[in-house]
Chain A
Amino acid sequence: MLTIDQAAKLLGMPKATVMRWVRQGKLPTREVEGQTFIPQEDLVRWARKRNIFLHREVLPAGGKRSSKPESLSVIVERGGIFFGVKGRTPTEVLRRSAQLIPLPPEIDKNFIADLLIQREKLASTGIGKGVAIPHPRYPLESLEVPALITTCFLAEPVDFKAIDGKPVFVLFVLLSSTTKLHLHYLSRLSFCLREPEFVTMLSECKKPDDLLRLLKEKEAAMDDA
């Protein structure tokens, strides 16, 4: 929930203008004990629909949550590992995968799916070797949960129009709350994927523990180096 002041900063408009918009009913608002607040998700959706730019850096980055990066295996375990995810197109598998992400019930999973699909439409997240890392276009500041990666092994490979043209067999759906964290996990993940044997072993994973063990070994090697 944002106060009028915060919303004004986010919109880059004077407080007087935002207050008028609230009065005229042009902004999505919610009233709590006589005070007007603007739900952040609603505002983001509202602004996106109207092509209005939001000055995102003013958002409280992650609130009180620690923004210290965690290890890959921890956030992969948090996101859950799933096998046999069905679908024939990127949109289908993204929609299914979004439903699998362990999120608190108040977060609309369809909304997350929309974000992933939107991002996918801009440019493929298939990074080659049959791997894709779908993620939303902007980090989800409002997400009141720590970063996570949901791993989805697909029932059958799907063409993501990846750079090397190879069909994708596994998705690492990455959700994080800040750009900084997002880049950190992305670089760690791509470091692992750079090695061909990692990818081969990845394709041979049959149960969640296989993947976690693989990641732990890889990360240990990375930290030693």
Chain B
Amino acid sequence: MHRYLYKLNERFQLICIAVVVGIFAALASVALNRGLVQVSEWLGHFRGNWYAFVFPAVGAALSSIFLHHVVKDYGGHGVPEVIYSISRRGGLLRLRSSYSRLVACLLTIASGGSAGPEAPVVISGASIGSNIGTFFRLKDRQRIVTVECGAAAAIAAIFNAPVTGIVFTLEAIAGEWSPTHLIPVSIASVVATEVSRILQGNQIPFESRLFHISNWDMAACIGLAVLSALVSISLMRMLRRFSGRFKSLPGLPWMRAAMGGTLVGLMGLVLPHVLGEGYEVIRTIIEEEFSSGMLLAGVVLTAKMAATALTIGSGGSGGLFAPCLVIGSLTGLFFHQVLDTAMPAIDWAGQSYFGLLGMAGVISGVLQAPMTGVFLVVEITGSYQVLLSVVLVAVISVTVSQFFEPSSVYHQELVARGELVKPRTDRHILSNLNMMEVLETDCHIVRPTMRLKELVDIVRRSHRNYFPVEDPESGDFLGMVHLDDIRSYLFDPYLQDTVLVEQVMESNVETVSLDDDLERVFEIFDRTGAWSLPVVQDGKFLGLISKATILDHYRKELLVNEES
């Protein structure tokens, strides 16, 4: 099979692999979906009992134990890991990531934790893509594409929304739109959607009715957009704060998860809406059956936000997609009730319409990916007539959200670790080059006891301006002689015989080591104004690193990255 694939043109090769990735990623998401339904149904029998509030705690604890002790994978919802793998590791992901998060999130969500199955499916799909790519011995550049295919396929299959899969992957994960990525990703997305339709039927998750949209509604959209942006910002901040709080608590990870779960369980006793992925809430709002006043809508909204922050912040496993949608629809509902109370004379388009827009607003605001929000809402509700309002809400929400929170919920973690490298940026190129590649070793090394005269001889033979000084016995690096500093004494015959190298050398020079990344090197270049820096490891001089050589490499790197 390998052999036939290699004969194909690279693009066809990727398309064929995209089909395979699409099928497997779709199977993973269908499996998770079925599992969730089964387990929730089974647990539903016990839901009415007084002890039901411990379910989320048990589920979260089990999921934490499974992740940390059984499969020994990383925690978290996994999307930052996918982004990191694409930007820095050539798309490498562990094989165990393809199922570990699925099991963990099944335990968390089915037991009532407030989280979504989408992010775990994304990392599973991505890991499937990565490992299939490795199986076909793809190079980094192509494996990145198969990882993206996996992510797109997962989203497409779980929502039955092919375009959302494509857009989400390019916008939130890859961060670039180019045909080499777009085509295989689209193929994987389409294949995955088809597989999911064959296995679970083609149904629009939250089919909505037709709306009558007036100009008043359009104007109200702006208000809703701002409100949903504010909700997004507070959700992001709550998540950060809760996760910081929980991390500072003593005890093992599973104990913290259990604690978060207990709190969520207790909330669920009073407000069962906050439990689980919460798609039932969306369905009732879209079908205009959520009969509650403004106050209750507000309370449920806040409770759902808190439950989500508790579940995910305490270390439960699951994504933000579903909670964002639920929170969004509740935001829309709340906004509608406010409008209805404040201006009862106007015939508003209904809670379903605003619920829809709220979903787009919150998803876009939290992921900071407007197109993902737009297409997701349009595809899962099947209503293209709201497109105009949805776009409006999504872009305003992103703008406001970015103003207060500069990076999306997925990027935050990477930004905090200083590891966010967007494609086609200076950082991306610098992170590719390593010190060994730009090290120049053709240097003339001088001794500290040399007379200036001998140095002049070396200068004559060399084409460089910098001369490292080494201790002849220990071989330790002592300092540098910079031609510019000594030019005025060089040709003075009297000084030539009397001055020693150690008298003219600069011993207090900035040095870099092989482990430094080029970003730090450039900081030093900028700060000191130097053109060359000595590379010193364990006190020994290894070579020089100069701006000129880096420019040469940098330019080559840019040229090489051009798509053919």
A-B contact pairs, 13 of them (CB 8 A): A13-B437, A14-B437, A16-B434, A16-B437, A17-B433, A17-B553, A23-B139, A24-B90, A25-B138, A26-B561, A27-B560, A52-B556, A52-B560
| B-contacting 9-mer, from A43-51, A88-96, A128-136 | A43-51
A17 to B142, CA, bound (A): 18
Return chain A residues, CB-CB under 8 Å to B90. 23-24
B side interface size, CB within 8 A: 19
Output the least CB separation between A143 and chain B (Å). 24
Q: Which residue of B lies closest to A11 (CB)?
A: B556
> Is B564 an interface position by the 8 A CB rule?
yes
Q: Which residues in window 109-131 of A have CB below 8 A to B?
A: none
> Is B432 an interface position by the 8 A CB rule?
yes
Contact between A46 and B437 (Cβ–Cβ < 8 Å)?
Answer: no
Contact between B559 and A24 (Cβ–Cβ < 8 Å)?
Answer: no
Output the least CB separation between A111 and chain B (Å). 15
Contact between A24 and B437 (Cβ–Cβ < 8 Å)?
Answer: no
Contact between A50 and B142 (Cβ–Cβ < 8 Å)?
Answer: no
Output the least CB separation between A5 and chain B (Å). 15
Contact between B436 and A20 (Cβ–Cβ < 8 Å)?
Answer: no
> Is A198 an interface position by the 8 A CB rule?
no
Contact between A50 and B560 (Cβ–Cβ < 8 Å)?
Answer: yes
Contact between A13 and B553 (Cβ–Cβ < 8 Å)?
Answer: yes
Q: Which residues in window 105-157 of B have CB below 8 A to A?
A: 138-142
Q: Which residues in window 173-218 of A have CB below 8 A to B?
A: none
Return chain B residues, CB-CB under 8 Å to A13. 437, 553, 556
Return chain A residues, CB-CB under 8 Å to B140. 23-25
Q: Which residue of A lies closest to B440 (CB)?
A: A14
> Is B562 an interface position by the 8 A CB rule?
yes
> Is A4 an interface position by the 8 A CB rule?
no
Chain B 423-436, CB within 8 Å of chain A: the 1/0 string? 00000000011101
> Is A83 an interface position by the 8 A CB rule?
no
Output the least CB separation between A44 and chain B (Å). 14
A187 to B559, CA, bound (A): 38
Output the least CB separation between A10 and chain B (Å). 13
A17 to B436, CA, bound (A): 9
A side interface size, CB within 8 A: 18
Contact between A50 and B559 (Cβ–Cβ < 8 Å)?
Answer: yes
Given contacts A22-B139, A24-B90, A25-B141, contact A14 B562 (CB under 8 A): no
Using a CB–CB distance below 8 Å, which chain B residues touch chain A? 90, 138-142, 432-434, 436-438, 553, 556, 559-562, 564
Contact between A24 and B141 (Cβ–Cβ < 8 Å)?
Answer: yes
A85 to B141, CA, bound (A): 46
Return chain B residues, CB-CB under 8 Å to A22. 139
Return chain B residues, CB-CB under 8 Å to A23. 90, 139-140
Return chain B residues, CB-CB under 8 Å to A25. 138-142
Output the least CB separation between A25 and chain B (Å). 2
> Is A138 an interface position by the 8 A CB rule?
no
Output the least CB separation between A122 and chain B (Å). 21
Chain A 25-36, CB within 8 Å of chain B: the 1/0 string? 111000000000
Return chain A residues, CB-CB under 8 Å to B562. 50
Contact between B139 and A24 (Cβ–Cβ < 8 Å)?
Answer: yes
A47 to B388, CA, bound (A): 47
Contact between A46 and B436 (Cβ–Cβ < 8 Å)?
Answer: no
Given contacts A16-B437, A17-B437, A24-B90, contact A49 B560 (CB under 8 A): no
Return chain A residues, CB-CB under 8 Å to B559. 50-52
Output the least CB separation between B437 and chain A (Å). 5
Query: Beyond A13-B437, A13-B553, A14-B436: 17 further Cβ-contacts under 8 Å?
Result: A14-B437, A14-B438, A17-B553, A20-B437, A23-B139, A24-B141, A24-B432, A25-B139, A25-B141, A25-B142, A26-B141, A27-B560, A49-B564, A50-B560, A50-B562, A52-B556, A52-B560
Q: Which residue of A lies closest to B549 (CB)?
A: A14
Output the least CB separation between B471 and chain A (Å). 28
Q: Which residue of B lies closest to A14 (CB)?
A: B437
Q: Which residue of B lies closest to A17 (CB)?
A: B437
Contact between B436 and A16 (Cβ–Cβ < 8 Å)?
Answer: yes
A16, A24, A50: which has the most chain B beta carbons within 10 Å? Answer: A24
A140 to B389, CA, bound (A): 62
